[in-house]
Amino acid sequence: MSRRAVLSGASGAREGGAGASARYLAPGWFTARVFNPAVALLTRRGLPLAGSRVLAVRGRSSGEWRTTPVNPLEVGGVRHLVAPRGTTQWVRNLRAAEQGELRVGRRSEAFRAVELPDADKVPVLREYLRRWAWEVGAFFDGVGAGASDEELLAAAPKHPVFRIEPLR
């Protein structure tokens, strides 16, 4: 599979749910084998980079914990998770489980995840790009934090966004 493999159509997307088309941009070798493992290791050791956390979600088939580094984002006092690469495995697992944990060091926060409809994603995507464009901007097809609301709304179906609601 190529680094920028794109899946489209209804396959992989939840029927009737947010994101009518599924899109996944696979990470390159360096990201998958070096960067993400390094960020996850540092975060597990209690040294998060740029506010990173390790997302833990039960696998939708295996029930085993699956982990990946993520960048939670607070907008208007509400925390969110944004999937810059599209409908990744963690997105599919979170849609199925509807809850997970955000971990840093020995601390773990259980949460409920609520996927946002595309119309509600604009301010979250704008802030996400403002804060992390240096890391994820390439996955937004030229759309940046300074884009119009219409441009961000057009990009919204490609990027699942979840509101994080603490369980404890």
- Predicted confidence (pLDDT) per residue in 127-159, tens digit: 999 998 988 888 999 999 999 999 999 999 999
pLDDT of residue 25: 67
Helices (H), 33-88: 36-44
pLDDT of residue 8: 37
Name residue 162's beta-bridge partners: 81, 115
pLDDT of residue 53: 92
pLDDT of residue 18: 47
- Tell me how far apart the alpha carbons of residues 92 and 135 are, in angstroms, rounded to a whole number: 22
- Eight-class DSSP state of 49: S
pLDDT of residue 48: 66
What is the residue-level pLDDT of the chain in tens, covering all 168 positions?
333 344 333 333 333 344 445 777 676 776 667 766 776 777 777 766 667 899 999 999 999 999 999 999 999 999 999 999 999 999 999 999 999 999 999 999 999 999 999 999 999 999 999 998 988 888 999 999 999 999 999 999 999 999 999 996
Q: Is the CB of residue 99 less than 8 Å from the CB of residue 113?
A: yes
Quote the pTM value: 0.79
* Domain boundaries 29-166, corresponding CATH code: 2.30.110.10
Tokens linked to 162: 């979840």
Contacts of 152 (CB under 8 A, 6+ apart): 121, 122, 125, 126, 143
pLDDT of residue 44: 72
pLDDT of residue 29: 73
Tokens linked to 128: 């996400």
3-state secondary structure (DSSP) of residue 161: strand
Torsion angles phi and psi, residue 63, rounded to 5:
80, 0
- Tell me how far apart the alpha carbons of residues 54 and 122 are, in angstroms, rounded to a whole number: 25
